Structure 1
């Protein structure tokens, strides 16, 4: 059961890292703001205004996951290299990127409590996961 719990947490880190690397290691990446012009389905798009040196303005970039993104609002973003896909930056972007890890911690806490009978460790894992998810929810709003 310990291996299953470790595998679940590892999968959460793996799932989070795909987005978190762009937000947390933003040095050398194009940073700026996007004013959301339209949202369709699970994608919002708008013009990109650069704030970092070496960046160039773009007529349209996409925010692939439209969680708490509203048309007409301006958001700080980092562009994924070689694409027009933007990722929210700042504290809200960092916390949102690690949401899969928060879910994995919650799930691992159930495995640790039920399968290994380590209730204190399970409580720590569960509270860390719930805290991460709550902080991301509050920061994104």
Structure 2
């Protein structure tokens, strides 16, 4: 009789262990996505007190584009050379609204395109977490919601840029 009662408790313990482990992995993926996105998103979303202006792209090489910076906000200084990730900028000669990262000559694109691009790591994390939630937690509706949100974010960023 003791063999029969120990099986359900062992199965319950394994099930709980699987749920706890997969839930932790999914949560860590989402936290990592927010953490990776926030490094850029904070400059785009919290522009008060930051140097805002426009960047005219003059040259792109490898993964960086360079150009001149013309200030728009009060207290901002013009710069002959600032850099931005080339994945954000599409064409040489174009002008983009940007925010200068404090203490550097690196800029981040603002507006809807810059905001969506800043949150792309979260979109990837949502897609990965949806796989963990579907396979490990067996919560298909939540997995579809996470995957749909991630795909929507990535598609919107692609379209906006």
TM-score with structure 2 setting the length: 0.85
The alignment of Structure 1 onto Structure 2 pairs a total of residues equal to 139
1:26 corresponds, among 25, 37, 47, to 47
Quote the Cα distance in structure 1 between the aligned partners of 2:115 and 2:104: 20
SS at match of 1:36: strand
| Residues 15-71 of structure 1: per-residue CA shift (max 9 Å, x gap) | 0000000110111000000000001111100110001111111111000x2015211
The corresponding residue for 1:66 is: 86
1:56 corresponds, among 58, 61, 77, to 77
TM-score with structure 1 setting the length: 0.97
The corresponding residue for 1:5 is: 26
Deviation beyond 4 Å, 4+ runs, structure 1: none
Instruction: Indicate conservation of the 8 Å contact 2:97/2:110, yes or no.
Output: yes
Quote the Cα distance in structure 1 between the aligned partners of 2:127 and 2:98: 28
SS at match of 1:54: coil
The corresponding residue for 2:137 is: 116
Quote the Cα distance in structure 2 between the aligned partners of 1:42 and 1:136: 18
The corresponding residue for 2:109 is: 88
| Residues 75-94 of structure 1: per-residue CA shift (max 9 Å, x gap) | 11000001000000011000
Could you tell me which runs of 5 or more consecutive residues in structure 1 were left unpaired when the two chains were aligned.
none
Larger radius of gyration: 2
Could you tell me which runs of 5 or more consecutive residues in structure 2 were left unpaired when the two chains were aligned.
1-21
| Residues 100-125 of structure 1: per-residue CA shift (max 9 Å, x gap) | 00000000000000000000000000
The corresponding residue for 1:136 is: 157
SS at match of 1:125: helix
Quote the Cα distance in structure 2 between the aligned partners of 1:61 and 1:132: 28
The corresponding residue for 2:12 is: none
Report the structure, 1 or 2, having the larger helix content.
Answer: 2
The corresponding residue for 1:47 is: 68
Quote the Cα distance in structure 2 between the aligned partners of 1:50 and 1:74: 12
